[in-house]
Amino acid sequence: MITENMLSALRSDIENKMSQKRYRHTAEVEKMAARLGELYAPEKIMTLRAAALLHDITKEYSTERQIMICAQKGLEVTKEDVCAPKTFHARTAAALIPELYPEFAEDDIISAVRWHTTGRRDMSICEKLVYLADYIDMSRTFEDCVRLREYFFSKEPEKMTEAERLAHLNDTLIMSFDMTVKGLIEDGTVVSADTFEARNWLISEK
Ligand SMILES: [Fe+2]
Ligand SMILES: [Fe+2]
């Protein structure tokens, strides 16, 4: 069971290992994950907060270091991965949790960290909520993030029925995938197949 003390210890540990800017974002993702957890999975709030704290622990590692960790952990590295170095950190962070933070090595936490950047088909509720918390945390000022945050909260999900609220979460995720894909295409860079699959899956489930 995850306790407040465990989360406090984790928070101080990661704060010492990342830049102030990354830590500020991480702390805001934790808050947003808890806020979303209240709406969608109150029984998973501690899990969501732990995953939020862990989601970017390797974000500031160099691409070389990411590739080295992948090699150590037996994770395949393709040319496409190298073209999208930003997606490495989700895989390496997830792979390092059992070694660095065995007390947090729960399936829900590891998979939420693993899929927080690209999403995937059949996302679990924890995966969806950490993904969204990372996109719309209060420290984000990028136009797409602000727009998505406003869209999500302006519809007052707290007043919806359970089914409406879940549909609203899925619509918000579809919108985020659309914005991500458009942005990557504008940048002329690769789009993860997992992101397309996540988007197509949510649309086909409507
Ligand atoms: Fe990330
Ligand atoms: Fe992040």
What pLDDT, on the 0 to 100 scale, is given for residue 121? 98
CA 56 to ligand 1 centroid distance, Å: 5
- What is the fold, at CATH topology level, of the domain defined by 4-204? Hypothetical protein af1432 (1.10.3210)
pLDDT tens column, 175-203: 999 999 999 999 999 999 999 999 999 99
What pLDDT, on the 0 to 100 scale, is given for residue 119? 98
CA 159 to ligand 1 centroid distance, Å: 30
CA 93 to ligand 1 centroid distance, Å: 9
Ion ligand 2: residues, Cβ under 5 Å: 56, 134
Q: Print the SS3 string covering 79-94.
A: HHHHHCHHHHHHHHHH
CA 42 to ligand 1 centroid distance, Å: 23
Give the ligand at the shortest distance from the Cα of 88. Answer: 1
Structural contact between residues 81 and 88, judged by C-beta atoms closer than 8 angstroms: yes
CA 67 to ligand 2 centroid distance, Å: 19
CA 133 to ligand 1 centroid distance, Å: 11
Tokens standing for residue 29: 């993702």
What pLDDT, on the 0 to 100 scale, is given for residue 133? 98
CA 126 to ligand 2 centroid distance, Å: 15
pTM value > 0.95: yes
Terminal-residue alpha carbon distance, the chain: 35
What pLDDT, on the 0 to 100 scale, is given for residue 120? 98
CA 20 to ligand 1 centroid distance, Å: 15
Residue 15 CA to residue 60 CA, distance in Å, equals 13
State residue 85 phi and psi, 5-degree precision: -60, -20
Q: Which residue shows structure tokens 């918390």?
A: 133
What pLDDT, on the 0 to 100 scale, is given for residue 102? 98
CA 119 to ligand 2 centroid distance, Å: 13
Domain extents for the chain?
4-204
CA 24 to ligand 1 centroid distance, Å: 13
What pLDDT, on the 0 to 100 scale, is given for residue 124? 98
CA 115 to ligand 2 centroid distance, Å: 11
CA 131 to ligand 2 centroid distance, Å: 9
Successive 10-residue mean pLDDT values, the chain, 206 residues: 97 98 98 98 98 98 96 94 92 98 98 98 98 97 97 98 98 98 96 97 96
What pLDDT, on the 0 to 100 scale, is given for residue 69? 97
Tokens standing for residue 113: 């960290």
Burial class of residue 10, CB neighbours in 10 A (0-12, 13-18, 19+): buried
What pLDDT, on the 0 to 100 scale, is given for residue 36? 98
Count of other CB atoms within 10 angstroms of residue 107: 10
